[in-house]
């Protein structure tokens, strides 16, 4: 049993490429051993630093025995060239083959004796192919070489059973040494086992294991912040990025001038996290402080590192402060006409045109959500003005948020500021959904305006391509409506939006847009429901009985039914409906019946019929009175009440009475029963 | 006393000394030291000694200072970190040497930045220039959190795949000097050791050019000039005169930058103008390569 150990040393590979390559290599090597029946009894590990990708498998068999195998050659009827080819490919003589009949006729066969391979030889032969199979999302060439790699590859170290394995890989030759100084690549060192390799790097304080390195960083961050009474909110993606751009992390506490805390905190946080990969800190009340943590890749021997990083943040914040001071006092209303100079999209006018449309859409929606028309119109008019500001130029991810801050500084009302700030939300599946009705209104109008415009221009997403992010936009629209339980007539708003475009001279095919957008929105609702683990047949049935005017109701009913479908109540309700509708449909088709939708009480022959009829009347009354109530659990319970009467009816009453009139009357009764169910849900497509 | 003096001296590596040191250092590495190209360009990359020389198979090593103009970055001399005119120090080596990282780190030592005392990072930065039809992979180099250099392996230039591959190292001289001299404001940099500051040389220029770029440049004329330059460039490529054609292309590119900073180019127009310049660059790259054989 032996150890296999490989290290690829290169110039700094970016985190994502590095992790992908490490995983792919690990997987391919595992598969290689498995495919060749090479036994691995020990551990299998993979590590990486920005400069090194490391694989270590322990306790691998040195030899692999391939069992004796019977190989079928060509048919006796084949031309002689086929046989010659077979002999050549197997490297055997004619005396070694024999004839054998099979179901498909007579064939030549060769019994290949059992064979022994040295793992080492297999590795030598296959490693170059495995390395070449790493698929870099982005790769490059360098110098005069032909190799493609994430960043220039400098050495390949491969050791098996304490000995190096040598092969050629493009311009490189594998060996058992690597560069130990990533900076100058002057010093090399050879290793014959993983343990000595590991202990060497430990001695120079490099943490090869990414998981241990991450734990180390987290620990250091926590310790240092605790020691200084600071709180940190560690973001996983930032942490992962930091972890994969260092090999010997050191955490340093730095500060910036307190005066910058008066700049909106979003700017400070983005500058620290996104631009500089720093960790911002907070006090006990979750207020941002002027301390931040830097994960350095070197020990700060002379204090230069702390000083340097503090100077960088100072320069950046100076810039931000300069812009903030300038932008915050630029009157939002006075800048409105400047929006005419910013094109929203070719064929959809400028941002000024867009805000004019949003303003009217918001005004319409404000009636339904019962909010102040005046306030929402102001918010809609100025919500895009921040696009002109230097700050949004510098920090595009803060669009909307900056507008909110500007509005606040200039004394606009709270709802106005908040809705401007939140009108791009939700921005993704995990993003927060605004709750404030002003924010919801503004966000809905903005998104609908965009959707109607792009559908009007026939720029709808095709396949996986969605260059204008219309899918994301629509998911946001669905979430705004569903998660805020809004009952809003979308169709009329889409119609109004089309009118507004027309008033500005942009004329679209109204019927086409309405139809396509309707389907598109419903498709997104399906996706959204899928994310929420709602069965496809349930949401589809729910949508069948609801168009986009009833988006929330459609979702909510599906959600309630989905939650109960495997419980007694759900199964029974579906069961009752199915039993009744099956009989009804069969008879209608068989007898080509036309139903009148009315029952003749005089034709009832027994109490079972009467009771069922009575129950149907009760349920009908319930649904008449339920009105806008969205407690669909109750509706389901109401339908469940049919159980006893329906069962007694089917147990005791023969629908197919000899008397055609009575038979038809009973079918009419079943028809009424099914219609009661339709009040709640279209059960016909539900799989029981 | 000696050590204190030494430290004092170190912090006074002036702007011009920084240039001298880099020139001397890269000259020792076999680079020919060129002078700035005599046209307005947006970056050292636009110098034909980089764009055109990175094409084709002939080896090439050069280093030079290039004044770079970014009209939209002007701040009337009011902002401590932004300039519409600044200096880049550009190194281009083809094929990229195996020990280029070492060469680069040693160039920092020549400026007094010892890698063992600082946190020097190679942070992913893939470079793309739509106007040049160029792309490369590499890093921005951070020193204690500050970006001081761009480090790029060219993969494509003027729409043509590069082979052999050139490496480009671009130092932002003002940033680098602010780091070396420990200054918070670019205008406070010591240009020399005799008391001349960066503001003495450039403050008025920043103010006036910002006004020109943002307020007074005659956009009607500039639109016309752009078209004229484009026509000229096309004509010259037909005559297989790659270098004069490239000059027209550079001028057009600068005109476009001014129009952009005047805010008269819409999003859709922007893409169109960039595509027009790229088409010129591609044609020029092609005839330049043909002329090299």
What is the rounded average pLDDT of the residues A410-414?
A: 96
Question: Could you check whether the bond before residue B95 is cis, i.e. omega within 30 degrees of 0?
Answer: yes
A188, pLDDT greater than 90: yes
Whole-angstrom Cα distance, residue B79 to residue B69? Answer: 16
Q: List pLDDT tens digits, range A362-408.
A: 999 999 899 999 999 999 999 999 998 989 988 999 999 999 999 99
Q: Which range has the worst mean pLDDT, A491-505, B50-64, B123-137, B259-273?
A: B259-273
Percent of chain A whose pLDDT exceeds 70 = 99
Whole-angstrom Cα distance, residue A185 to residue B106? Answer: 13
Do B182 and A311 count as a contact with CB atoms less than 8 A apart?
yes
Cβ neighbours, 10 Å, residue A467: 9
What is the rounded average pLDDT of the residues A117-133?
A: 94
Structural element, H or E, at residue A675: helix A660-678
Distance from CA of A151 to the nearest CA of B (A): 8
Give me the helices (H) in chain B, please.
Answer: 2-10, 15-28, 48-51, 100-109, 173-181, 198-211, 219-238, 242-261, 267-292
Whole-angstrom Cα distance, residue B185 to residue A434? Answer: 42
> What pLDDT, on a 0 to 100 scale, did the predictor assign at position B4?
44
Kindly indicate the confidence band of residue A597, based on its pLDDT and cuts at 50, 70 and 90: confident
What is the rounded average pLDDT of the residues A241-250?
A: 96
Question: Could you check whether the bond before residue A426 is cis, i.e. omega within 30 degrees of 0?
Answer: yes
Give helix A607-626 / helix A660-678 axis angle, nearest 10°.
Answer: 30
What is the rounded average pLDDT of the residues A67-72?
A: 87
Percent of chain B whose pLDDT exceeds 70 = 96
Whole-angstrom Cα distance, residue A457 to residue A345? Answer: 10
> What pLDDT, on a 0 to 100 scale, did the predictor assign at position A447?
97
Kindly indicate the confidence band of residue B5, based on its pLDDT and cuts at 50, 70 and 90: very low
Strand partners, A5: A56, A159
3-state secondary structure of A169: strand
Residue from the list B79, B122, B123 with its beta carbon closest to the beta carbon of A322: B79
Q: Which range has the worst mean pLDDT, A534-538, A559-563, A659-663?
A: A659-663
Strand partners, B127: B136
- Considering only alpha carbons, which residue of chain A is nearest residue B166? A143
Whole-angstrom Cα distance, residue B89 to residue B44? Answer: 7
Q: List pLDDT tens digits, range B156-213.
A: 999 999 999 999 999 999 999 999 998 989 999 999 999 999 999 999 999 999 999 9
Kindly indicate the confidence band of residue B80, based on its pLDDT and cuts at 50, 70 and 90: confident
Q: CA–CA distance from A172 to each of A8, A21, A153, A167 (Å)?
A: 11, 18, 9, 9
Q: List pLDDT tens digits, range A156-181.
A: 999 999 999 999 999 999 999 999 99
**Which residues on chain B are in Cβ contact (under 8 Å) with A298?**
116, 118-120
Kindly indicate the confidence band of residue A467, based on its pLDDT and cuts at 50, 70 and 90: confident
Residue from the list A141, A276, A343 with its beta carbon closest to the beta carbon of B266: A343
What is the rounded average pLDDT of the residues A468-491?
A: 93
Look up the pTM and report it.
0.82
Q: How many CB pairs under 8 A join A and B?
A: 116
B1, pLDDT greater than 50: no
What is the rounded average pLDDT of the residues A620-637?
A: 80
Q: Which range has the worst mean pLDDT, A226-230, A613-617, B51-55, B244-248?
A: A613-617
What is the rounded average pLDDT of the residues A519-530?
A: 94
Cβ neighbours, 10 Å, residue A651: 8
Do B153 and A183 count as a contact with CB atoms less than 8 A apart?
no
Interchain contact B164–A (C-beta under 8 A): yes
Q: List pLDDT tens digits, range B109-137.
A: 999 999 999 999 999 999 999 999 999 99
Of residues A684 and A455, more confidence is placed in A455
> What pLDDT, on a 0 to 100 scale, did the predictor assign at position A629?
60
Kindly indicate the confidence band of residue A546, based on its pLDDT and cuts at 50, 70 and 90: low
The token pair at A670 is 């079943």
A117, pLDDT greater than 80: yes
DSSP labels for B176-199? HHHHHHT-SSGGG-BSSTTS-BHH
Structural element, H or E, at residue A422: helix A414-422
Residues 258-287 of B with CB under 8 A from A: 263, 266-268
Distance from CA of A295 to the nearest CA of B (A): 10
Residue linked to tokens 């599946």: A429
**Among candidate residues A29, A19, A24, A54, the one with its CA nearest the CA of residue A208:** A54
Interchain contact A309–B (C-beta under 8 A): yes
CB of B149 within 8 A of CB of B133? no
B240, pLDDT greater than 60: yes
Whole-angstrom Cα distance, residue A642 to residue A646? Answer: 6
> What pLDDT, on a 0 to 100 scale, did the predictor assign at position B2?
41
> What pLDDT, on a 0 to 100 scale, did the predictor assign at position A342?
83
CB of A518 within 8 A of CB of A548? yes
A194, pLDDT greater than 90: yes
Interchain contact A303–B (C-beta under 8 A): no
> What pLDDT, on a 0 to 100 scale, did the predictor assign at position B9?
45
Kindly indicate the confidence band of residue A65, based on its pLDDT and cuts at 50, 70 and 90: confident
A650, pLDDT greater than 50: yes
Do B164 and A341 count as a contact with CB atoms less than 8 A apart?
no
Q: Which range has the worst mean pLDDT, A189-193, A259-263, A655-659, B275-279?
A: A655-659
DSSP state of A110: E
Q: Which range has the worst mean pLDDT, A57-71, A197-211, A255-269?
A: A57-71
Give helix A568-591 / helix A642-652 axis angle, nearest 10°.
Answer: 40
**Which residues on chain A are in Cβ contact (under 8 Å) with B144?**
304-305, 307-309, 311-312
What is the rounded average pLDDT of the residues A218-244?
A: 95
What is the rounded average pLDDT of the residues B68-92?
A: 94
Task: Please give the ipTM for the structure prediction.
Answer: 0.93
> What pLDDT, on a 0 to 100 scale, did the predictor assign at position B264?
84
How far is residue A165 CA from its own chain's centroid?
42
The token pair at A82 is 């086929």
A176 contact partners, CB below 8 Å, separation of at least 6: A157, A158, A159, A163, A164, A190, A191, A192
**Which residues on chain A are in Cβ contact (under 8 Å) with B122?**
11-12, 50
Whole-angstrom Cα distance, residue A69 to residue A486? Answer: 69
Interchain contact B195–A (C-beta under 8 A): no
Residue from the list A15, A138, A300 with its beta carbon closest to the beta carbon of B137: A138
The token pair at B115 is 């890698």
Of residues B46 and A102, more confidence is placed in B46
Structural element, H or E, at residue A497: helix A490-503
Do B124 and A322 count as a contact with CB atoms less than 8 A apart?
no
Q: Which range has the worst mean pLDDT, A34-38, A471-475, A493-497?
A: A34-38
Strand partners, A398: none
Distance from CA of B155 to the nearest CA of A (A): 7
CB of A330 within 8 A of CB of A409? no
Among A20, A142, A254, which would you mutate to test the B interface (most chain B Cβ atoms within 10 Å of its Cβ)?
Answer: A142
């Amino acid at each position: 049993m032996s150890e296999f150990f490989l290290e690829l040393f290169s110039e700094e590979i970016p985190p994502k490429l590095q992790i992908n390559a490490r995983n792919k290599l690990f997987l391919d090597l595992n598969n290689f051993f498995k495919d060749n029946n090479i036994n691995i009894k020990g551990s299998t590990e993979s590590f990486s630093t920005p400069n090194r990708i490391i694989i270590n498998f322990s306790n691998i068999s040195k030899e692999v025995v391939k069992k004796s195998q019977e190989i079928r050659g060509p048919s006796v009827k084949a031309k002689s060239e086929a046989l010659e080819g077979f002999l050549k490919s197997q490297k055997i003589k004619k005396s070694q083959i024999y004839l054998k009949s099979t179901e498909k006729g007579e064939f030549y066969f060769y019994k290949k004796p059992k064979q022994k391979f040295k793992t080492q030889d297999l590795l030598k032969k296959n490693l170059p192919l495995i390395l070449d199979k790493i698929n870099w999302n982005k790769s490059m060439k360098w110098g005069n070489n032909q190799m493609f790699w994430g960043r220039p590859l400098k050495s390949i170290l491969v050791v098996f059973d304490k000995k190096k394995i040598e092969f050629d890989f493009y311009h490189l030759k594998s060996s058992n040494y690597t560069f130990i100084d990533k900076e100058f690549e002057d010093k090399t060192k050879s290793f014959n086992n993983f343990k000595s390799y590991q202990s060497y790097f430990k001695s120079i304080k490099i943490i090869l294991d990414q998981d241990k390195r991450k734990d180390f960083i987290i620990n250091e961050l926590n310790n240092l912040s605790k020691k200084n009474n600071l709180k940190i909110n560690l973001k996983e993606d930032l942490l992962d990025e930091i972890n994969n751009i260092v090999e010997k992390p050191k955490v340093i506490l730095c500060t910036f001038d307190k005066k910058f805390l008066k700049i909106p905190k979003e700017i400070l946080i983005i500058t620290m996290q996104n631009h500089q990969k720093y960790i911002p800190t907070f006090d006990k009340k979750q207020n941002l402080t002027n301390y931040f943590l830097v994960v350095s890749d070197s020990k700060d021997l002379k204090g230069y590192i702390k000083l340097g990083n503090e100077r960088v943040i100072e320069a950046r914040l100076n810039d931000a402060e300069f812009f903030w001071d300038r932008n915050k006092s630029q009157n939002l209303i006075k800048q409105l006409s400047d929006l005419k100079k910013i094109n929203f999209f070719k064929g959809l006018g400028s941002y000024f045109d867009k805000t004019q449309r949003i303003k009217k859409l918001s005004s319409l929606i404000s009636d339904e959500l019962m909010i102040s028309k005046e306030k929402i119109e102001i918010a809609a008019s100025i919500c895009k003005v921040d696009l002109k500001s230097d700050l949004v130029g510098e920090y595009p991810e803060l669009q909307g948020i900056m507008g909110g801050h500007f509005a606040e500084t200039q004394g606009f009302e709270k709802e106005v500021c908040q809705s401007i700030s939140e009108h791009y939300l939700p921005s993704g599946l995990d993003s927060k959904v605004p709750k404030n009705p002003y924010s919801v209104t503004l966000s809905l109008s903005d998104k609908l305006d965009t959707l109607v415009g792009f559908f009007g221009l026939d720029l709808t997403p095709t396949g996986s391509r969605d260059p204008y992010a219309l899918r994301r936009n629509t998911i946001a629209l669905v979430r705004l409506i569903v998660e805020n339980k809004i009952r809003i007539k979308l169709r009329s708003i889409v119609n109004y939006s089309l009118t507004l475009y027309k008033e500005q001279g942009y004329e679209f095919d109204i019927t086409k847009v309405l139809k396509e957008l309707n389907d598109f929105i419903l498709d997104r609702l399906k996706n959204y429901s899928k994310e929420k683990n709602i069965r496809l047949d349930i949401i589809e049935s729910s949508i069948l009985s609801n168009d986009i005017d009833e988006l929330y109701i459609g979702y909510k009913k599906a959600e309630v039914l989905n939650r109960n479908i495997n419980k007694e109540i759900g199964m029974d309700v579906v069961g009752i409906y199915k039993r009744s509708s099956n009989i009804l449909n069969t008879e209608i088709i068989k007898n080509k019946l036309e139903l009148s939708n009315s029952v003749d009480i005089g034709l009832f022959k027994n109490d079972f019929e009467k009771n069922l009829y009575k129950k149907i009347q009760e349920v009908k009354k319930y649904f008449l009175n339920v009105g806008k109530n969205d407690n669909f659990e109750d509706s389901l319970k109401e339908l469940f009440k049919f159980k006893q009467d329906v069962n007694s009816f089917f147990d005791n009453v023969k629908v197919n009475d000899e008397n055609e009139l009575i038979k038809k009357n009973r079918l009419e009764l079943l028809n009424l029963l099914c219609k009661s169910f339709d009040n709640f849900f279209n059960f016909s497509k539900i799989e029981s | 006393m000696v050590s204190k003096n030494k430290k004092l001296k170190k912090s006074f590596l002036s702007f011009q000394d920084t240039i001298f040191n880099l020139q001397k250092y890269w000259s020792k590495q076999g680079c020919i030291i060129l002078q700035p190209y005599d046209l307005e360009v947006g970056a050292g990359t636009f110098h034909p000694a980089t764009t055109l020389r990175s094409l084709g198979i002939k080896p090439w090593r050069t280093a030079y200072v290039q004044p770079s103009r970014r009209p939209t970055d002007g701040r009337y001399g009011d902002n401590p970190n932004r300039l519409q005119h600044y200096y880049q120090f550009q190194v281009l080596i083809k094929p990229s040497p195996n020990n280029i990282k070492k060469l680069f780190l040693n160039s920092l030592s020549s400026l007094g930045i010892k890698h063992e005392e600082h946190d020097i990072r190679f942070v992913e930065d893939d470079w793309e220039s739509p106007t040049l039809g160029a792309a490369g992979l590499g890093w921005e180099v951070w020193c204690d959190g500050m970006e001081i250099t761009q480090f790029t392996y060219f993969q494509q230039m003027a729409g043509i795949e590069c082979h052999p591959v050139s490496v480009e190292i671009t130092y932002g001289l003002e940033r680098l000097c602010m780091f070396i001299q420990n200054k918070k404001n670019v205008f406070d940099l010591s240009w020399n050791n005799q008391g001349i500051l960066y503001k003495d040389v450039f403050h008025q220029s920043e103010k006036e050019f910002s006004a020109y770029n943002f307020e007074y440049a005659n956009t009607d004329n500039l639109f016309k000039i752009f078209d004229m330059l484009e026509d000229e460039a096309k004509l010259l490529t037909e005559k297989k005169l790659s270098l004069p054609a490239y000059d027209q292309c550079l001028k057009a590119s600068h005109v476009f930058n001014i129009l952009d900073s005047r805010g008269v180019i819409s999003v859709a127009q922007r893409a169109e103008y960039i595509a027009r310049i790229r088409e010129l660059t591609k044609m020029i790259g092609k005839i330049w390569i043909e002329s090299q054989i």
